[in-house]
Amino acid sequence: MEKRQLGRSALMVSKLGLGCMSLGTDAKQARTIIEAALDEGVNYFDTADLYDYGENEKIVGQTLKSVRDQVIIATKVGNRWNDKKDGWHWDPSKSYIKEAVKDSLRRLGTDYIDLYQLHGGTIDDPIEETIEAHGGTIDDPIEETIEAFEELKAEGIIRYYGLSSIRPNVIRAYAKHSDIVSVMMQYNLLDRRPEEEALPLLHEHQISVVTRGPVAKGLLSTRWREKADDSGYLNYSYPELKNLLSSIEDYFQNTRTLTEVALQFNLSHPAVAAVVVGASSVEQLKENVRAVNRPPLSEEEYSFLKKMTKTDLYEQHR
């Protein structure tokens, strides 16, 4: 499988990454899917300390232990479980990050993390105007958050760090004032909000985008008829979704599946290094592999998809 450079880092990630959140807690089933991914050339595995109270990290780490030097493990920090495990709160403090990374290392069974991602960011984090008003310096909590990642990198505990966020104010601040190599964000044919602001900015700064949600909760797959309902999707109503997805299927009839169209659309953008997709079965994983290994969209196909779908901007976190 083709591998692409992640930002300015030395990491070469397979253009399909396995999103491990959907693996569940059945260790045997999860191992089967992870091993199938390895067989298909996937080397990029994305987890988080939040998933299944850390159990996901354990399963991922144990399964990849024998091939640790051949894979890229990405995990996340910033969302802290409450004592009762009935919810979590945001904690980007330096002290928490430096403590949480030890727990992730222990669960993963490794002594380093390839890509450590800040899991979120809030509207209360400093926006670019606030930073400029302070003469280019950064107020807490971003300053100490960056310090934590930089110290972990200097100590060899993490190789690189990035964000997992869709918030324009957070992305702008970190793109300018930190050494992030990637931003994971939702991006798909039905959610093209990143195109106007985030993708051009990150591409300019040589920061790669790793997309999540590329099949829009199954709406951009062959199962869209059973997935679509009256709630629609973002600013698409149910009737709009039916008309749009039927039109796309008709256009690509007998040439590309809807899953293939969805994943190739994301990979067509120059800012995107990889698409991270979950899989709850080996067959689903193989379908995603087939989709990314197909030829890229032609200019005509890409233009058709952009013409048919909506663009928009984020209304919050400006």
Catalytic site positions: 51
Check if the beta carbon of residue 46 is closer than 8 Å to that of residue 276. Answer: yes
d(CA 155, CA 187): 33
User: Which residue in this structure is represented by tokens 């030829």?
Assistant: 295
